[in-house]
Every structure is written in structure tokens, then in C-alpha cells.
Amino acid sequence: MAFKQLDLIDPILKALVTEGYTTPTPIQAQSIPLILEERDLLGCAQTGTGKTAAFAIPILQLLYKNKTEERGPHKIKVLILTPTRELAIQIDESFAAYGKHTGLTHTVIFGGVSQLHQTNILRRGVDILVATPGRLLDLISQGFIDLKFLKIFVLDEADRMLDMGFIHDVKRIITKLPAKRQTLFFSATMPPEIQKLANVLLTNPAYVEVTPASSTVDAIEQSLYHVDKANKLSLLQYLLKDKEIVTALVFTRTKHGADKVVKFLHKNEITAAAIHGNKSQNARQHALSHFKSGNLRVLVATDIAARGIDIDDLSHVINFDLPNVPETYVHRIGRTGRAGNTGIAISFCDAEERTELKDIQKLIGLNIPVINSHPYPLSNTNFSTPSAPAQKPSPKRSRGFGSYDKGKSRNFSGGRRQSN
Ligand code: AMP
């Protein structure tokens, strides 16, 4: 299917050509016609599936078609609520890209920076507002934002809102929306509280689902290194000798851990920067843009800071620490292997992370292939990985250093994947 077959208007088709998009992703092919029919939508999809364009394109089209002459500043007609600043900026950039020939106006607001620039734009009026919950509530209470004229509300990454403790803010925001509106609700997973919220928010919704866990996992070559905690930095340095690692996004559990990794890499003349909650918004954007442009080889991030960052052609994700929440593993490795590309995800596991590993393997339904031949093996080798179907290592990609220990895998029939 081509975008042309989705009945899109020329100003949008023209922008998609500039973006180099020809074929809609599955979530786009399913959602665009439903949103254009002005249906409410419940979308089970995560970042990396093309979700942003799946809602941004039809929203722009609906607004463009219903455009009327407005006296004075434009009123906010669309609100997109998303959990992180990085996601908010990316969504706003998507509206800018797909909507550049529509004449519609948009802006983004988020906390951690001065509000002056944001309120100046809001005073001039916008059609589309992208926001994180805290700053939105703040500016509503200061009288800078009026949602009376809202037609479309998008709740993005609802499950993350819950994880990050924003659910009460979200509920407060919902009380400020007009009852008559179109609502689009996106979440990667559907825990009961999120399901309940969806039931309250949506009226007779259409349901679309793409199975991110299985498709993401399928596209990515995963490997696991058992290593003592004290040797993780040395192992990272050793792996980065591989020139095939052009760019790597390294995940640590803590902000302090991220800074420690960066300091170590600098000492070893590897370009790196950290993004986490203690860094200013400007420092985070600066690091991200240097990483995207190839000036930085390694970006070290904590989960919250990295959530949703969109980097094309990221070759490697390295889990320096395993996440406590198994779904986070899928979110993390989904930073590579974007839009149908393959990617490589390397994970370190120390003796204290066995439970996390067990939970991750249970969720993804496979044993991550173990690389045993490396210079920093675990000092206590009395370690057994829990049973799960094994993943067939892809022959297409370099395995980096060492080789797979096939003894740990029950079979290589590939096969079953479990979606969440
Ligand atoms: P998202 O899930 O919205 O974060 O999108 C993931 C990535 O896919 C982004 O880099 C988009 O620019 C890209 N993308 C989205 N839709 C398409 C498409 N139809 N064709 C090619 N790339 C796309």
C-alpha cells in the first residue's frame, strides 16, 4: 500500500515525499482511515512503529479540511499529551514536517526550562499543542492556555504516564477538556489502570494493535555477557574496540552510573555524553544532536531520559545495567532496529541481576544468546540461565567479539515470540 491510497490531501502527500516516506507502516495503514472518519481510537503500539505519523497525518488533514477564518490568535484545537520532553519535541517536529504545507500552527511546551518563550508563542495562538503534563497544568492555571475549543485529544504513551507517576496530572487535565471531542489513546501495554482510563476517555473506539515486543525483538540481534559488576567498564571499553559499533546508546540504571561511564570513556578517548534528569534541557538536546550528527560515538542514558528518543540508524544498544522492569528491556532495544532495519542489542548481566534477566527472558520468550569468550568472565561461574525458547542468531550481522555459547540454547528453531 502507498500513502496515495489513503486519500490524503496534496499538502500532506508532498511533505511525505520530502520525508522520504512512501509506504505507511502497519499502525499508519490501520489508524489513518479510522482517525479521518473522526472515530475514537485505542492504539496498542510503542515508539518505533511509526505511531507519531499515524496520528499526526490524519489530525493535520482533519484540521486543514475544517479550517475556517479565525479572528485573532488561533485557538488550540488539538492537544497531544506525552510523558517526556524528548518525546514532546519529537512529536512537535513531526507536526512541523508533515504539516509544513498546511499553514497550521503548532508548538510544544515542557518543564525544566523558562516558560517565557512558550507563553510568547501561546499568546500568538496555535492550532496544535504538544505538552508534557506538569507544564501544561501550570500554564493552564496561570491562564495561558484555554482548551475550550479543543476538537482532538491525543494521550500518548499512557502506560509510561503511569510508570512515571503522571497519572493524577493526566486525570486532572482530562477534567479540563470539552466532553465532545475525538480522543486517540496510545499505550504500548494495557495494565488494568490504563484500561480503566481508556474506558473512561473513549467512546465506541476503534482498536488497532501492532505487536511491538515480538516484532522489535525479531528484528534485533541480541547477545548477553555475564560479567562481574567491577569489570563492566572494562568490558564496555573492550567491546567499543569493534569499529562496527559506529554509534551506541548505553543504558545505565542510575544518573550517577551514567556519569561514571562517560567519565571512564573520556579517559579512554572515546567520545561520549550522558543524558539524564540532572542535566539541563539544553545539555540534553546538545548531547542528542551531537550524537545524531555523528560527533559523539556513545550516548549514555537512563531510561526516563532516553524514553522515546528517535535516532535514525542507531547501530547498537548496550544495556550496561539490566532494567528492573522487563518491558523496559523491549523499549530500550527498540531504540535500534527502527522502521524495519536490523540492529544489535548487547546486555551485561552481573551476579546481582539474575532475577532481572530471568524476568526479561520470560517476557520476550527466549534465552538471549550468551557470549562466553570474552576477557572478563564472571568470577563465580556457578550460574545457570532459566529455560526459555532460544533465539536463532542472525547470520547477517557481525557478532562482535566472542562467539555464542550454543550449549545454553535449547534449539535454534527460532520460532515462538511472546508479545506483551
Ligand atoms: P515513531 O514510532 O513515530 O517514533 O517513528 C519511528 C521512526 O520511523 C521515525 O524515525 C519516523 O521518522 C520513521 N517513520 C515513520 N513512518 C514512516 C514511514 N511510513 N516510512 C518510513 N519511515 C517512517
What lines the ligand 1 site, CB under 6 Å? 21, 23-25, 28, 47-53, 310, 312, 338-339
Residue 312 lies in a domain: yes
Q: Which residue has the higher pLDDT, 398 or 175?
A: 175
3-class DSSP state for residue 345? strand
Backbone torsions φ then ψ of 359, nearest 5 degrees = -65, -40
Mark whether 113 and 157 lie in a shared domain. Answer: yes
pLDDT of residue 309: 65
- Dihedral (CA of 177, 183, 185, 190) sign: positive
Q: What is the mean pLDDT of the chain?
A: 85
Mark whether 16 and 121 lie in a shared domain. Answer: yes
Q: Per mean pLDDT, which range of 114-118, 174-178, 277-281, 298-302 is the poorest?
A: 277-281
User: Which structural domain range is residue 118 located in?
Assistant: 3-211+404-418
Mark whether 132 and 21 lie in a shared domain. Answer: yes
* pTM for this prediction: 0.62
Q: How far apart are CA 167 and CA 187, in angstroms?
A: 13
Q: How confident is the model at residue 327 (pLDDT cuts 50, 70, 90)?
A: confident
pLDDT of residue 339: 56
Q: What is the pLDDT of residues 33-73, one digit of tens each?
A: 999 999 999 998 877 778 999 999 999 999 999 988 888 88
Mark whether 149 and 260 lie in a shared domain. Answer: no
A 10 A CB-CB count for 73 gives 12
Mark whether 264 and 308 lie in a shared domain. Answer: yes
Mark whether 8 and 145 lie in a shared domain. Answer: yes
| Stretch 177-185: mean pLDDT | 97
Q: Per mean pLDDT, which range of 152-156, 199-203, 213-217, 223-227 is the poorest?
A: 213-217
Mark whether 114 and 161 lie in a shared domain. Answer: yes
Spacing, Cα 37 to ligand 1 middle (Å): 23
Residue 383 lies in a domain: yes
| Stretch 130-158: mean pLDDT | 97
Q: What is the CA radius of gyration of the chain?
A: 22
Residue 396 lies in a domain: no
Starting at the edge strand found earlier in the chain, the sheet holding 182-187 runs 106-109, 128-131, 78-81, 152-155, 182-187, 41-44, 206-209
Spacing, Cα 339 to ligand 1 middle (Å): 6
pLDDT of residue 366: 82
Q: How far apart are CA 346 and CA 363, in angstroms?
A: 17
Mark whether 244 and 199 lie in a shared domain. Answer: no
Cα 408 to Cα 337, 381, 383, 388, distances in angstroms: 25, 13, 11, 10
| Stretch 373-392: mean pLDDT | 64
Q: Look at the block and give the residue holding cell 514532546.
A: 88
Cα 283 to Cα 173, 286, 305, distances in angstroms: 29, 5, 12
Mark whether 411 and 329 lie in a shared domain. Answer: no
Residue 399 lies in a domain: no
Q: How many domains does the chain have?
A: 2
Q: How far apart are CA 112 and CA 333, in angstroms?
A: 27
Among 310, 311, 331, say which to mutate for ligand 1: greatest number of ligand atoms within 8 Å of CB: 310
Q: How confident is the model at residue 401 (pLDDT cuts 50, 70, 90)?
A: very low
Residue 69 lies in a domain: yes
Residue 238 lies in a domain: yes
Residue 397 lies in a domain: no
pLDDT of residue 399: 32
Mark whether 355 and 380 lie in a shared domain. Answer: yes
pLDDT of residue 312: 60
Q: What is the CATH number of the domain that holds 333?
A: 3.40.50.300
Mark whether 57 and 183 lie in a shared domain. Answer: yes
Residue 394 lies in a domain: no
Q: What is the pLDDT of residues 189-205, one digit of tens each?
A: 888 889 999 999 999 99
